[in-house]
Amino acid sequence: MEIERPYLLFLGDVHDQLAAKTAQGVVDWRPDWCLGQMRLPNCQADTGLADMTIEEAVSKGARTMVVGVVNAGGVLPDHWVAEIVKAIEAGMNVATGLHKRLSSIPAIAEAAAKHGAKLHDVRFSDISFATGKGTKRPGKRVLAVGTDCSVGKKYTALALDVEMQKRGMKSDFRATGQTGVLISGRGVALDAVIADFISGAAEWISPANDEDHWDCIEGQGSLFHPSFAGVTLGLLHGSQPDCFVVCHEPTRTKMRGVEHPLPTIQQVIDRTIIEGQLTNPDIQCVGLCINTQKLSEEDAKVYMETMAKEHDLPCVDPIRTSMGPIVDEIQKRYPS
């Protein structure tokens, strides 16, 4: 199940940096797992890692080639397939977050069979999940929720885990999306699970643990997003979080991909508590994470101070400031 490390990040010949978002996420959060990157001629993306060939990567111990890019239409170009086959022949496994299964490409399937390579299609899960039971499990859980999609829920969960580890707390980042799975080496892309098993898969992702252990769970979608709220609710029920952090991007005016306006932070807090109480009656909000990327230093500061006061909660930007105040709040409310 686990994706073997270290990784060689394959960037293909994508036309911009955005297409390499997955690879960049892995490099940002798991630099120790990444030996280097491999780029084809004319590649316009760069994660900042050393460029290396398949042979160099294997000689340095690379175990898995991670296809860390998305291609328009989700199709794997033939010249990428050729490089993936070479990596398999050189002894590596392969992991991707593409919509097409690696094993559905005959050349890759044959090479993997011949060389005993593992193919990880993290968009798909071959696990037979049970339906969710909603029974309380031991261990503590904090879930990142959001006013919308793509507002920083993954980074928030990762930053919570990093800050907890730094303090010597027991914690794990729990991935629920494809990039998150590549970052953690384990997890499930929840949006690709069969609908009946959303909460069951969420229960699997965050299993019973020590009472003083924290799962920092990556959120998905928003309870207020008309496309994805079902996934968000199933994840909330399956995670049965003790507490949650609300993530928000203050300059966005419409929910991603639809015409709906964004809910307020307070609406998200209230709705998450109402719904979350089904599987954890003590659920509470412990902080706000603002993605202030599009604000000036001064505007960001004022905005976060205003939100902190308005909601009487610590308010941070996990990239720009520090996760410290939120973990302080967690330690205060849940002394171990």
Please, which residues have CB within 8 angstroms of residue 58's CB and are 6 or more apart in sequence? 90, 91, 92
CA angle 154, 157, 158 (to 5 degrees): 85
Q: Is 293 in the site for its own copies (CB under 8 A)?
A: no
Q: Is 64 in the site for its own copies (CB under 8 A)?
A: no
CA count, 13 A, side-chain hemisphere, 91: 11
Binding mask 220-249 for its own copies (x = CB under 8 A): ----x-xxxxxxxxxx-xx-----------
Q: Is 128 in the site for its own copies (CB under 8 A)?
A: no
Beta bridge partners of 39: 12
Minimum Å gap between C-beta 142 and its own copies is 19
Minimum Å gap between C-beta 124 and its own copies is 10
Which pairing describes strands 119-121 and 284-290: parallel, antiparallel, or unpaired?
unpaired
Q: Is 198 in the site for its own copies (CB under 8 A)?
A: yes
Nearest CA to 18 among 72, 62, 75? 72
Comparing CB distances to its own copies, the nearer of 150 and 227 is: 227
Nearest CA to 38 among 75, 17, 7, 3? 7
Minimum Å gap between C-beta 334 and its own copies is 23
Minimum Å gap between C-beta 72 and its own copies is 17
CA distance 187 to 205: 6
Instruction: Return the residue matching tokens 């029974």.
Output: 135
Comparing CB distances to its own copies, the nearer of 227 and 321 is: 227
CA distance 180 to 229: 19
Phi/psi for 319 (5° steps) reads -90, -45
Minimum Å gap between C-beta 310 and its own copies is 23
Q: Is 75 in the site for its own copies (CB under 8 A)?
A: no
Minimum Å gap between C-beta 221 and its own copies is 9
Tokens of 198: 């959303």
Query: What Å distances lie between residue 128 and 193, 197, 204, CA to CA?
Result: 10, 9, 10
Which of 195, 282, 298, 312 touches its own copies by CB under 8 A? Answer: 195
Minimum Å gap between C-beta 132 and its own copies is 5
Which of 78, 126, 259, 297 touches its own copies by CB under 8 A? Answer: 259
Comparing CB distances to its own copies, the nearer of 77 and 257 is: 257
DSSP state of 122: T
Minimum Å gap between C-beta 66 and its own copies is 22
Comparing CB distances to its own copies, the nearer of 146 and 234 is: 234
Comparing CB distances to its own copies, the nearer of 96 and 125 is: 125
Number of residues in contact with its own copies, rule: CB under 8 A? 37
Which of 109, 273, 278, 319 touches its own copies by CB under 8 A? Answer: 278
CA count, 13 A, side-chain hemisphere, 203: 19
Q: Find out whether 243 and 284 touch, Cβ atoms under 8 Å.
A: yes
Contact set with its own copies (CB under 8 A): 131-135, 190-196, 198-200, 224, 226-235, 237-238, 257-260, 271, 274-275, 278-279
